[in-house]
Each structure stands twice: as C-alpha cells, then as structure tokens.
C-alpha cells in the first residue's frame, strides 16, 4: 500500500510550508514518485495557485498537473457542506487522492489553512479526511510569542481530539519557537506525550522566514511601486514609522527596516537612501510612502538617476491605518525565493531527526539513483571536510546568491575576488544575506600575497617569455589570481566563467597548475541527472576533435570521475555503428581508442564502438550486442568529438528536463571549473559543490 502522511496544523501560521519542504526533500531521496495533495484549498484571487502546492511542485519539479493536487476550492466545499452533502465532499476527496496515490510511491497531504470563522469546523474536517484516507497525522503547532505552556496547550488538545476520532497520530512538530526555549519545549513535549512511538521535534523561529518581502507588502496593501521594482525580494525585518527630523530618526534605523513616512517627506526619503548606501548605517529594505502623496517631479528625477534603487512604494491610506494594516501581513515561502527555501531545509535538517521520521513515515525502497538523491549526497559529501573555494566574479548576482546559500548551509568556505567596496556594495544592493565575517573578500592588486604570486608566476612562466611586468599585469586578473591561490594551497579550488569565456577561466590552470601524471589532455564531464539514474557524459565542452589516444585518455579520466562520485563506471565509446558493423575513419578512431583504453585499464568495463541506443537501452542491446557486459547498462558515455557531445547533452537536457551539472573539468592537478555564461544559480551551486568534492579527493591523494 502506498505510504502517506497528513500534515494537520492546530491553528493559522504554524509554518507548514517549512515542514512540507523538509518532508518532500526527505522523501525524494528515496523515490522520485512523490505526490502532493490538499483536500481543500482557499479561493485564490485572480485565479492564483495555492501557495503550498505551487511551492512544492515548482521547487522540486514534480511531474504532476496542478489540477490533480486538490479536490475543492473552499467556496465550493462550503456550499456542498452547507447543503448537508458531506458524503459528496468526502467521496470526491477520496477519488482525487486515490487517483494521485496510484501514480506515486508516497503522497504528502496538507490540511486546511484555518482562515476565517470556521476553524473548529475545519479541524473536524481534517480529522475526518485523514481518517478516511488512512493517512497518519503529523500535528504541527507554533510557539511564536508564547511560553512553553501556551505552545503546548493547543497541541495537546489537538492530539486528544484526533485520537478521540480514531485517527492515527504519527508525531508532533512545533515550529517558530524562541531559540532559547527549544530544549525546554522539546523536553516538556516528550514528558507529556508518553507514547514512546510518538515522534517529536521543535524548530526555532528565524526572522528571515517570519519577515515579509516587499512584494508581499505591496500585494497586501495594494501599493504602487514607484521605484526599485527589481528588488521586491528584499525582506522587512522591522517596520519603522518616521516623522522625526533626520538627526533624530537615523539612530533608530535597524537592519532591513521598512521606513514608513508620508509621501511629501523628501528629506526622509533622501536621507534614508543615503543611510542605506553608507557603511555607517544598516541596510534598509525599502520605503513606504503614505497618504497618497508622491515625491515632487524634481525629486523623482533625482531618484530616477540612482542605480540599484531600493523599493519605494506608495499607498493611499494614511500613516496610522497603513502601519495597522501592515502588521497583519503573512509571509510565505515562495518557489522563487531560493534563500528562504534553503534556510527552511537547513532548519528542518538541523532540528528534525530525519532518520527517525523516515522510519516512521515510509518504507519506500530506492529503485535507483534519482537526481534528488544524487544532489543530496553531493551536498552532504561536500560538507566534510569543508573546502575553500575562490570565486573571481564576485559581483555577479548569481555568484552572490549561490555564495549566500552555500555559506548559510556551511557547505564550503568562500573567498570572493574584487574591490572590497564594490563587492560589499553589490551584496547590499542585491539584498544578499552574506555574513561578512564568514567570507573573505580579496582585492588582488592590494593583497599581501600579490607580489609573492607575481614572483611565482614569473618563475613558472619566464621560460615562455613572461616578464616580471607581464606577470604583474596578469596577476591583477581574477582568473590568474584565483588559480594561483589554488596552486599555492591558499584555496582548494576555483569556479569561474559566469561572465568570462571558458578559455579565460582555464588558461591559467593549463599554464601552471597543469595536468596530472600520465594525463596529457584536460577534458570535461557532465553529470546528466535523468528521471531514474545519473549518467556521465564526456567530453562535451573542451576538446573539439580528440585523437584516438586522447579519446582513450578522456575515457579513463571519466571512469575515475565516475568512481569518485559513487557511480559504477561502465564505459560506452560512442560511434554511429556498433561492434564490427560499420567502417570509416571516425569508427576506426573509436575502435582504436577503445582498445587503447582497455590495454591501459583492463580493470574497467569498456565497450566500443557502440551506438547510443545500444549503450543505454537493454532491448536494443539484446539485439545489437547480446554478449556485451556494458551494452544496455552504460553509465559513462564517451562521445567521439565535441560537436556530437555538446549537441547531445543539450538535446537530452532540453527534451527530457534532465538536470545537467557541468562542465566539470578533469585531468588537472588541482580543481578549477568553468561555468557557462548562461548558468543559473543552481548551476553555480552544483559546480561549487562538485569542485569542493574534487578538492577533498585531491587532498586525500596528497
């Protein structure tokens, strides 16, 4: 029978999004076939999607139609229930749930939002639905602004009520707890909930999750966005109503405050913006102008000329009514807010005993290495021992976003290269939550190591005609400086290429990091995360037309990479024919490369030449190469040239939705990796993580 769990909150604002994210992430390490289901959702305005469902579907890329994830909108359900048609409501919920259950190994059900005057009724409906779906209940409460006793009371009442309705209780999680009370509340819960099988966890509150974005504030207040529409992701940690003169209100500014002031106070607007840019005052989230007043044309002209302006919003209501209304805003974890999602998953992993929870909720067996499993294992592997990665393109928004997430999860240590004022300004203007005490920012020309690096480069390259002046000029370049940090052991790896070419990134590495013994060519791999397995493609990024000898070397390097990342290497040397069926210069090159690779590494399983379909499809393999121990089950696919490899990986990525991680360079003595200039934040994160793992491997081999 398919496993399921029913998240039932005891009241509004318990943080079920965080719990849903954590449980879904946990389940996807076991199987890709996870479903999300809400029996009844709120009536979205303007046809908007349910926030909880949209978050899970979008972030995890679940292959489920939105319409299949719920049974009723609340208005429709209430009309039927008002007519006494309870059975009709329950029948449709079960029907929709069962249809989803048939397609999934596990279904995560999320109960009501408890919005409006029908909370008691919703509680009873959740109990009835969970019982009829046969789903054990995970009770979720919150302790925001509450004592331990106040937090426990609604949870205990809920548990007793559910038990009284013959529901199965899986456990309890209390969210949004004062960090100083986490241990006390956890102990109290375990003492009062005497069932030894009852799962208990307590998760502390975090201001990043509790604080609304400027976009949420604008939506709630129906505000007009006057300026800074590209930074509506900024979060307001505090609301500050300002009517004082400049010298009196500035001391009250705090980090990420939203300044609320009448729209005709140009002095407060301009001084707030100046304080935001000053190193002597905290970063401001935005400015909210009240009373339907907007700045004069002259002031607007001045603001229009400011780069990276923080959001300035305008509302029709007066200052008092605005401040009152803003206190009722709810903050959500949306699918586009990577920082909030990463923080939620971190808190869940840190404060929830996931092994105990997994034992309680599922016995799903892993069918293979799913993409989510692979990415999870990469993240866990990269954490220990923690490696130091240098990033030369320090002001690029994708680099800073990735750095924020990786630093927040304590995965790697990071050095950002660039002018310190420029980098810190970019961090502030982009609204990144990067603790400057945890990241190193180095401006190459002014660094203490600069002249030592120049001298080292000169000694290494003087035989190639490099003078001391040339070495000095080269070392001001981030790629050269970052690569030298890796060469000298001041960093463990480098990732670049978000705004530079591949040649610019890897040229320094080729010049003085050089290749490993017995390796003459640097090559690349892509980790292709397909629906049910992870394949390695090589070489799809570096060598245009390798010789047979180089192709054999690339194959062996790919096998080593495969082993290093936990993938059993079965190598397919690809061509347009399989076995002895074809002839021609390209086929002969692959045939020769296959023999060279087999001679050099008789311990590896290698087949070639072989066509792609025969390499990965057991049915085709049975017809074309029935005696092969690689055909139909290849995990490492070696392409004969760059044209074939690059086009194939992109075609597979686009047509199947596979996650393509790479290119990852192999063959260098120390890890240096190149990003595509079209990289996403996820691409940057994955490349940094893999670089860290490569550095761990190199450190073990020293």
Angle at 612 between CA 607 and CA 615, to 5 degrees: 45
Which CATH number is 573's domain given? 3.40.50.10750
Residue 702 pLDDT more than 70? Answer: no
258 in any annotated domain: yes
Q: Is the domain of 122 the same as that of 180?
A: yes
Does residue 266 form part of some domain? yes
Are 475 and 582 contained in the same domain? no
The 605-610 sheet, strands edge to edge: 605-610, 570-574, 636-638, 534-538, 523-529, 659-666
The answer to pTM > 0.75 is: no
Q: Supply the range of the domain harboring residue 461.
A: 381-513
Cβ-based neighbours of 17, under 8 Å, separated by 6 or more: 51, 52, 55, 332, 333, 344
Query: Could you give the CA distance from residue 465 to residue 330 in angstroms, rounded to a whole number?
Result: 64
Q: What are the DSSP E strand ranges found in 168-308?
A: 169-177, 199-204, 224-227, 238-241, 257-262, 284-290
Residue 472 maps to a domain? yes
CA distance 280 to 268: 17
Asked if residue 140 and residue 289 are part of one domain, the reply reads no
198, HSE (Cβ side, Cα atoms, 13 Å):
18
Rounded-to-integer distance, Cα 202 and Cα 485, Å: 42
Is residue 372 one of the residues assigned to a domain? no
Domain boundary among the residues 478, 513, 548 is at: 513
Tens of pLDDT, residues 456-505? 999 999 999 999 999 999 999 999 999 999 999 999 999 999 999 888 99
Q: The tokens of 647 are what?
A: 């086009």
Which domain-ending residue is among 487, 513, 539? 513
3-state SS assignment for residue 7? strand
Whole-number Cα distances in Å, 262 to 69, 223, 286: 44, 14, 14
CATH of the domain at 301: 3.40.1390.20
pLDDT in tens, 683-701: 899 999 999 999 999 888 7
Same domain, yes or no, for 354 and 303?
no
Backbone angles phi, psi at 678, to 5 degrees: -100, 15
Find the CATH number of the domain harbouring 386: 3.40.50.10950
- Kind of pairing between the strands at 534-538 and 523-529: antiparallel
What tens digit of pLDDT does each residue of 504-558 get?
998 999 999 998 888 889 999 999 988 778 899 999 989 999 999 999 999 999 9
- Which of 513, 541, 556 corresponds to the end of one domain? 513
Per-residue model confidence as pLDDT tens digits over 109-133: 998 765 544 555 677 888 888 888 8
Confidence (pLDDT) at 43 = 72
Give the residue, 43 or 262, on which the prediction is more confident.
Answer: 262
What mean pLDDT do residues 614-625 have?
Answer: 94
- 484 and 631 assigned to the same domain: no
3-state secondary structure of 36: strand
Mean pLDDT of 102-112: 90
- Total structural domains within the chain: 4
Q: Which residues of 332-357 are buried (b: 16+ CB within 10 A; e: fewer)?
A: bbbbebbbbbbbbbbbbbebbebeeb
pLDDT band at 418 (very low <50, low <70, confident <90, very high): very high
Summarised one tens digit per residue, pLDDT across range 594-610 is: 999 999 999 999 998 99
Residue 555: the pLDDT is 96
Instruction: Note whether 467 and 548 are same-domain residues.
Output: no
Q: Is residue 692 part of a domain?
A: no
Same domain for 535 and 474? no
CA-based nearest residue to 10, from 206, 190, 169, 147: 169
181 within domain boundaries: yes
Residue 366 counted as domain residue: no
d(CA 388, CA 439): 10
- For residue 684, being part of any structural domain is answered with no
pLDDT digits (tens, 9 = 90+) for 366-413: 445 566 667 777 888 898 899 999 999 999 999 999 999 999 888 999
Within this chain, do residues 542 and 652 fall inside the same structural domain, yes or no? yes
């Amino acid at each position: 029978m398919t496993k399921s769990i029913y998240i039932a909150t005891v009241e509004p604002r318990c943080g079920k999004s965080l719990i849903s994210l954590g449980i879904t992430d946990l389940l996807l390490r076991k199987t890709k076939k996870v479903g999300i289901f809400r029996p009844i959702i709120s009536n979205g305005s303007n046809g908007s999607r349910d926030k909880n469902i949209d978050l899970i579907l979008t972030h995890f890329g679940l292959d489920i139609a939105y319409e299949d994830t719920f049974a009723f909108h609340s208005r429709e359900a209430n009309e039927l229930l008002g007519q006494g048609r309870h059975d009709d409501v329950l029948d449709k919920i079960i029907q929709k749930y069962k249809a989803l259950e048939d397609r999934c190994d596990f279904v995560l059900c999320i109960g009501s939002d408890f919005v409006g005057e029908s909370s008691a009724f919703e509680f009873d409906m959740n109990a009835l639905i969970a019982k009829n779906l046969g789903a054990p209940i995970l009770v979720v409460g919150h302790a925001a602004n509450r004592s331990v006793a106040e937090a426990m009371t609604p949870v205990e009442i809920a548990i007793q009520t559910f038990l009284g309705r013959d529901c199965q209780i899986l456990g309890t999680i209390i969210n949004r707890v004062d960090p100083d009370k986490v241990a006390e509340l956890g102990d109290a819960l375990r003492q009062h909930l005497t069932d030894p099988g009852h799962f208990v966890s307590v998760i502390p509150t975090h201001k990043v999750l509790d604080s609304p974005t400027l976009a949420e504030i604008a939506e709630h207040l129906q505000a007009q966005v006057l300026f800074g529409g590209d930074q509506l992701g900024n979060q307001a940690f505090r609301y500050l109503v300002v009517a004082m003169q400049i010298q009196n209100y500035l001391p009250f500014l705090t980090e990420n405050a939203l300044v609320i002031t009448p729209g005709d106070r140009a002095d407060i607007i301009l001084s707030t913006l100046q304080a935001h840019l000053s190193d002597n005052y905290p970063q401001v989230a935005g400015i909210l102008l009240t009373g339907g007043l907007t700045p004069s044309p002259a002031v607007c002209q001045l603001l229009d000329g400011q780069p990276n302006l923080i959001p300035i919003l305008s509302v029709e209501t007066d200052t008092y009514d605005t401040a009152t209304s803003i206190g009722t805003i709810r903050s959500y974890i949306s699918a586009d807010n990577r920082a909030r999602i990463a923080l939620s998953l971190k808190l869940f992993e840190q404060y929830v005993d996931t092994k105990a929870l997994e034992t309680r909720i599922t016995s799903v067996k892993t069918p293979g290495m799913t993409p989510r499993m692979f990415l999870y294992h990469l993240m866990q592997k990269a954490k220990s021992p923690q490696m130091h990665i240098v990033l030369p393109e320090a002001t690029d928004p994708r680099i800073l976003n990735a750095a924020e997430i990786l630093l927040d999860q304590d995965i790697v240590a990071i050095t950002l290269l660039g002018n310190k004022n420029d980098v810190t300004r970019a961090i502030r203007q982009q609204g990144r939550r990067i603790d400057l005490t945890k990241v190193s920012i180095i401006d190459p020309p002014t660094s203490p190591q600069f002249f030592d690096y120049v001298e080292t480069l000169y000694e290494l390259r003087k035989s190639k005609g490099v003078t001391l002046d040339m070495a000095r000029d080269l070392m001001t370049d981030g790629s050269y400086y970052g690569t030298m940090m890796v060469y000298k052991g001041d960093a463990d790896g480098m990732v670049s290429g978000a705004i530079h070419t591949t040649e610019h990134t890897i040229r320094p590495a080729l010049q003085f990091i050089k290749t490993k013994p017995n390796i003459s060519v640097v090559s690349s791999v892509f980790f292709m995360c397909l629906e049910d397995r992870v394949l390695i493609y090589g070489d799809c990024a570096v060598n245009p037309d390798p010789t047979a000898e180089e192709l054999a070397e690339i194959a062996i390097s790919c096998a080593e990479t495969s082993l290093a990342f936990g993938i059993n290497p079965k190598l397919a040397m690809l061509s347009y024919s399989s076995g002895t069926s074809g002839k021609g210069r390209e086929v002969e090159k692959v045939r020769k490369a296959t023999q060279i690779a087999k001679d050099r590494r008789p311990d590896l399983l290698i087949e070639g030449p072989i066509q792609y379909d025969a390499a990965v499809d057991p049915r085709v393999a049975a017809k074309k190469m029935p005696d092969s121990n690689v055909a139909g089950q290849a995990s490492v696919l070696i392409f004969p040239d760059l044209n074939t490899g690059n086009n194939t990986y992109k075609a597979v990525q686009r047509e199947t939705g596979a996650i393509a991680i790479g290119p990852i360079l192999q063959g260098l003595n120390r890890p240096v990796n190149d990003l595509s200039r079209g990289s996403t934040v996820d691409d940057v994160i994955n490349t940094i993580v893999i670089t860290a793992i490569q550095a761990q491997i190199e450190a073990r081999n020293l």
